[in-house]
Amino acid sequence: MKKADLYFNVLRLPVDFAMLMAAGLVTYLLRTEILTTFRPVLFEFNLPMLKYVYLVVVSSLIFLAGFAVSGLYSMKVRMGRVEEFLKIFVASSAAVMVLIVYIFLRQELFDSRFLVLGGWFFAVIFVSVGRLLVRNLQNFFVVRRNFGIHRLMVIGSDGNADKIIRELQNSPQSGYRLTKHLKDPELAEVQSAIGNPGVDEVFLVDSNYSADKVSGLIELCNEHHLVFKFVPNMYQTITTNIEMESINGLPLIELKRTALDGWGKVIKRIVDVAGACVGFVLIAPLMAVVAFAIKWETAGPVLVRLKRISRNKEFELIKFRSMVRNAEELKASLAVFNERPDGPLFKIKNDRQVLL
């Protein structure tokens, strides 16, 4: 799943809730402030604003549940506008029916039928408008700011490869950016192209690609944490951990490295952050002792920033200093003593830079 789709799919949930709340409040104000000329308000004491807001919150949660059941928060499919509007209409209608049945079973006299019907009408309109705004915001950031884009390598020499490339080039809002097109490469050529200029996903569009090459290509993508998708032929085996999509009528199958995706990834991220915060609080006393020991024994800062590379991206990590001050700057002068000159690791026997 593209990062942009993940971020904006999550954003749709709070936007939907805000739009439902707005729809309820507009309905109430319309009935109590504007339509009073045609019909006086008879429920102002039985249904004050504060109580009504509470009812709108509860009703909004029911609407959101209906949206979830109808697939409006699915991470796997990016719906068209018409399909999305129809799902909003059906889910909102179902949520209103649930509310009507609840009122009927409670044998309560509801103060205004307009609040129910008006709330349903404005909910459909407001949620549709809110989602349209999110969609336009997503397109703006993807097209103009390249937010969450995936750099793509296409492998294939037939018309299907050209078809996909033309479709993606004509649809910049899809989030794909073509960086490489290899017609019939060997694995060594693919591996060389992955890091130059950088690739996030690999599309295999050649259905006649040999089985040995396909296996090697899958292993290569797994090794470099790349998404692998392919156009299947009728003889290829389908695994259980897959996801399908289509581009211009061509089916694409993604072999997923893990079943954890979509909302599962969001929940895992929330658990990771919450667990990290709790863990930080629990080990804070020990960290304070370590920081004191480093400062007491040696001159220099307690923490250091180090650059690392993961998934072809550079990032900075912060750790307790375990070497002498400015150890990174001394690497150049100590390079002749490096026992691992063939790789990125820097290792010296009996390294005097390490704090004792």
d(CA 16, CA 5) in angstroms, rounded, equals: 16
Residue 132: pLDDT above 90? yes
Residue 271: pLDDT above 90? no
Please state the pTM of the whole predicted model. 0.59
Binned at pLDDT 50, 70 and 90, residue 238 comes out as: very low
> In the chain, pLDDT over 90 holds for what percent of residues?
13
Look over the chain and give the mean of its residue pLDDT values, rounded to a whole number.
Answer: 78
Residue 191: pLDDT above 60? yes
Binned at pLDDT 50, 70 and 90, residue 189 comes out as: confident
> In the chain, pLDDT over 70 holds for what percent of residues?
73
Per this entry, what is the length of the chain? 356
- All structural domains of the chain, each given as residue ranges with its CATH number in brackets, are 3-145 (no CATH), 150-255 (3.40.50.10700), 264-322 (no CATH)
- 60-69, 189-198, 346-355: segment of lowest average pLDDT: 346-355
- Which string of DSSP letters, residue by residue, matches 115-176? HHHHHHHHHHHHHHHHHHHHHHHHHHHHHHH-TT-EEEEEE--SHHHHHHHHHHHT-GGG-E
Residue 340: pLDDT above 60? no
Q: pLDDT value at position 356?
A: 46
What is the arithmetic mean of pLDDT over 294-299?
Answer: 80
DSSP state, residue 337: G
Binned at pLDDT 50, 70 and 90, residue 330 comes out as: low
Q: pLDDT value at position 237?
A: 45
Residue 239: pLDDT above 60? no
Residue 76: pLDDT above 70? no
- 33-42, 304-313, 316-325: segment of lowest average pLDDT: 33-42
d(CA 45, CA 141) in angstroms, rounded, equals: 47
Write the pLDDT tens digit of every residue in 2-53: 666 778 888 899 999 999 999 989 988 887 776 555 555 555 546 677 888 8
**Angle subtended at Cα 319 by Cα 314 and Cα 320, rounded to the nearest 5 degrees:** 155
